[in-house]
Amino acid sequence: MSQFEYIKDIAKYGLENDQEKLLNILNELIEHSKKTRKINFALQLQSILKEAVHQQKNNSLSRVGSEMYYNRVEDKEVNELILEKLTSDYTFKNLVVNNKTKDELELFIKEHEAHDLLKKFDLPIANKVLLHGPSGCGKTLASYVLAGELRKMMVVVNLGAVVSSKLGETSKNLAKIFRKAAFEDCIIFIDEFDSLGKVRDYGQDHGEMKRVVNTILQLFDYLPQSSIVIAATNQKDMLDNALLRRFDLSIEFDLPNKEQIKELVTLTLKNGQFKFDKPRNVSSILRDAVGLSFYSIQKTLISAIKRSIFSLSEKVIPLQAVIQTNTWKDLILQEKKSLQKA
């Protein structure tokens, strides 16, 4: 066998974790090297081999085996606690927010980009962020933007699976996720955070809720500096105060004003395939839309676009769809009404 053949086999058995065959082939190579007068090489290999065998004896092979098995089982369990593990290509361009919110988000990203510099001065890096504000104003979207801008993997916690009726199980589940995220260096995103950190929920076992809050406090305290936790809530005032204080940053998301609604419309229509039939009417619709969330406004605009397309004659496929402003206005007013009732 040539040296190349030996190297190929070593790579193969090493990657396959086939200890027995790996040891055999290494012994063969040592013999071969001695015969072909590569004595130094043979001695070096022999010493590497000796060292490895010695270490394995100390670890006891059976324990190594059972630990590997344990890790695999735990990994499968953790995966069930995670809704999604993703990389994001969202950036600030996808998000419309007021200047204060934008500055805070940008500063957070800067801290992580300047990680080495801050460490040099022994300064802590903000890594626990709370995003709060009304529903449909971009909290979940902002978490994707943070993951995209930081180019980090993000795990989205599956609250339905994490929260368990079994005593102590919720805390254990949370600890598992935090351990995995720290190990794999990803962002943890916990949406609807209030369902974990609530204090005034009389419907549930108070002792268990307290235990969960205490677990989160502990997990936060021991969070490695390179890990990031993003939590989002529509009900900040329901959160336990001690928990609130542990966040390095608390960033507020608001309903859009007229300017931001305009930005959202431009963003939604960005590819220029759509235009309004009566552009002059748009300004008054923007005024009507104040009080609705970004999500609601975008939803009505997209519905209006679809309805406008369907109202066209079927034979022509237009290059540019004309949005009927009246249809959009009606949808906005309907949306407002239905939310007022709710």
| Residues at the contact surface with Mg ion, assessed by CB under 5 A | 139-140
Query: Which of the listed partners (Mg ion, ligand ADP, none) does 33 bind, with a CB threshold of 5 to 8 Å by partner kind?
Result: none
Using the minimum distance from each CB to ligand ADP, give the nearer residue, 88 or 140.
140
Query: Which of the listed partners (Mg ion, ligand ADP, none) does 276 bind, with a CB threshold of 5 to 8 Å by partner kind?
Result: none
Query: Which of the listed partners (ligand ADP, Mg ion, none) does 264 bind, with a CB threshold of 5 to 8 Å by partner kind?
Result: ligand ADP
In this structure, are residues 193 and 234 in contact, taking their beta carbons and an 8 Å threshold? no
- Within the chain, where are the H helices? 3-15, 19-35, 39-59, 61-80, 99-113, 115-120, 139-150, 159-162, 169-184, 194-197, 206-221, 241-246, 258-268, 279-289, 294-310, 325-341
Spatial separation of the C-alpha atoms in residues 237 and 201, rounded to whole Å: 12
Burial class for 155, CB neighbours closer than 10 Å (0-12, 13-18, 19+): buried
CB of 191 to Mg ion, least distance (A): 5
CB of 237 to Mg ion, least distance (A): 17
CB of 202 to Mg ion, least distance (A): 25
Strand pairing category for 228-233 and 128-132: parallel
Using the minimum distance from each CB to Mg ion, give the nearer residue, 139 or 176.
139
3-state secondary structure of 19: helix
Query: Which of the listed partners (ligand ADP, Mg ion, none) does 97 bind, with a CB threshold of 5 to 8 Å by partner kind?
Result: ligand ADP
Query: Which of the listed partners (Mg ion, ligand ADP, none) does 233 bind, with a CB threshold of 5 to 8 Å by partner kind?
Result: none
Amino acid symbol at 245: R
Using the minimum distance from each CB to ligand ADP, give the nearer residue, 181 or 264.
264
Q: Would you state the structure tokens that stand for residue 183, as one six-digit string?
A: 């190990």
CB of 143 to Mg ion, least distance (A): 8
Q: Tokens 């939604």 belong to which residue?
A: 268
Using the minimum distance from each CB to ligand ADP, give the nearer residue, 26 or 265.
265
CB of 232 to Mg ion, least distance (A): 6
Using the minimum distance from each CB to Mg ion, give the nearer residue, 22 or 142.
142
Using the minimum distance from each CB to ligand ADP, give the nearer residue, 164 or 235.
235
CB of 137 to Mg ion, least distance (A): 9
Spatial separation of the C-alpha atoms in residues 74 and 72, rounded to whole Å: 5
Using the minimum distance from each CB to ligand ADP, give the nearer residue, 97 or 230.
97
Spatial separation of the C-alpha atoms in residues 278 and 291, rounded to whole Å: 23
CB of 269 to ligand ADP, least distance (A): 13
HSE-CB of 215 using CA atoms within 13 angstroms: 21
Q: What is the DSSP letter of 236?
A: G
Rg of the chain, C-alpha, whole Å = 29
Residues that bind ligand ADP (CB under 6 A): 95-97, 135-141, 232, 253, 264, 294-295, 298
Give residue number: closest CB to Mg ion: 140
In this structure, are residues 163 and 196 in contact, taking their beta carbons and an 8 Å threshold? yes
